[in-house]
Chains A and B, each alone.
Chain A
Amino acid sequence: MGKFGFALSPSSRINLDTLDNVKFAHLIEIEPDVLKCMACGSCTASCTAGKFVKTSMRSAILALQNGRNEEAISLLKSCLLCGKCTMVCPRAINTRHLIISILKVYQ
């Protein structure tokens, strides 16, 4: 805070100019269906873990697209791999498989 008692505030803005998408490109190679998500949210709505800890497949995919990799991991770490999201995904994304792939690429 220095001598003024206040400081510049950090920006919360998503800046796609500084996005490093090398890892995401790698993820697409092994898991091309990640691109099919249309953000309907049914995965999140049905999530067993999500009722207790913030867990969201949809938000995790978006976070990866926006380069917020740590946020994505934190949205998936409570996943129980029960497969309910796989069951409800209208775009037939194999979400269980995708989660494992994400963890492989990003962890």
Chain B
Amino acid sequence: MKNIVVIGGGPSGMEASAQLHKMGYNVILVEKSPALGGHLAKWDRLFPQGVHAGNILEGMISNINGVKYFLNANVQSINALGKSYNVILDNGITVLADAVLFATGFDLFKAEKKEEYGYGIYEHVITNADLENWFRTKNDQRIVENPKRIGFVHCVGSRDEKAGNRYCSKVCCATAVKQACEIKQEFPGAEVFCFYMDLRMFGRGYEDLYLSAQKEYGVRFIRGRVSEVAENINKELVVKAEDTLSGKPLKVTIDLLVLMSGMQNCSAGVKVAGQIGVAGMENDGFFETKDSIYSLQQALKPGVFFAGACTGPKTLPDSLHEARAAALAIHTYLQARDHQ
């Protein structure tokens, strides 16, 4: 039986593992954290329809039934051995893998790097992930009772050369609009502002989400990037941006600011991949695929495959499609290899 090591137990890693397992491969899924699910496990609801992340995750976990997985496990070393890869985990397990799938996902941009937004410095500045956590737990002292004004900052660590990320993180616009509606449900009396540069509502149902944010929820969209945030003596946040549609500087004092942290290639994944000469691309740090249209699941090295956000920002459905495509790509590759 052929061994396939899948690195990363988030949605794409789980989905690809389930598919490969059903195809009859011996799958070894490696997850560095104590639980499966990746970022999905930390999310409350998903755009565009507000489906509960927990329900989706539950379904995925039940679907990987039979797959061998190791939690709290890291790839200690990986090196090519003929046509295979010798993978040694830090829990003492060694696998000679016929194929390796990187489903290492993304790291959220560290919002404190945008110093002028004051994350970790001003009390009422949080990130998109913090807000999802609050939706789930209702436990975050940074969120005051009955905030009067709430702001969302799009493109935090995205489309920002100085932050090191020139690209668009793709999901933040839809996430911001979703969260703006959800927070309005929590605090119907609050005024909610979204500070955006372009609204990239590209997917099915996303434009409707935007329309309903405007019309049903009265979210005010201000086209302009937040330039700086300060704290006043009452610990409220003074936000400055340009209202680019009127061409005037704008100021608003708010009680809660949510920063839409973008996606970066997972640093732990990059470290592992580096050992076999698989590297992030210079322009964006995500892994280089065999081509840009047709073979998105293949690395330049034979026997190395990708699924999900390690090759660029993706929505959850995108990542799941890639996981299935990767399973098929691996299967095709192994069959071709055997016929040689």
Contact = CB atoms under 8 A, between A and B. Distances in A.
A66 B224 CA distance: 14
Contact of A63 (B193, B215, B246, B251): B246
B246 A13 contact: no
Interface in B310-326: none
B92 interface: no
B219 to A, nearest CB: 9
Contact of B223 (A36, A39, A66): A39
B214 A28 contact: no
A14 B249 CA distance: 6
Contact of A13 (B193, B199, B221, B250): B250
B245 interface: yes
B253 interface: yes
A12 B250 contact: no
Interface residues of B, number: 19
A15 interface: yes
Interface size class of A (residues with CB under 8 A): 20 to 34
A103 interface: no
Q: Name, among A16, A32, A63, A65, the residue most crowded by chain B CB atoms within 10 Å (CB to CB).
A: A16
A14 B250 contact: yes
A14 B248 contact: yes
A62 interface: yes
A35 interface: yes
B245 to A, nearest CB: 5
Contacts of A13: 248-251
Contact of A14 (B199, B211, B215, B243): B243
B220 interface: yes
Interface in B223-264: 223, 243, 245-246, 248-253
Interface string A73-87: 000000000000000
Interface of B: 193, 199, 210-211, 214-215, 218, 220-221, 223, 243, 245-246, 248-253
Closest 6 CB pairs of A and B: A16-B252, A14-B250, A13-B249, A17-B253, A35-B214, A35-B215
16 contacts: A14-B246, A14-B249, A15-B252, A16-B250, A16-B251, A16-B252, A16-B253, A28-B218, A32-B215, A35-B215, A36-B211, A36-B214, A59-B245, A59-B246, A62-B246, A66-B248
Interface of A: 12-17, 28, 32-33, 35-36, 38-39, 58-59, 62-63, 65-66, 91
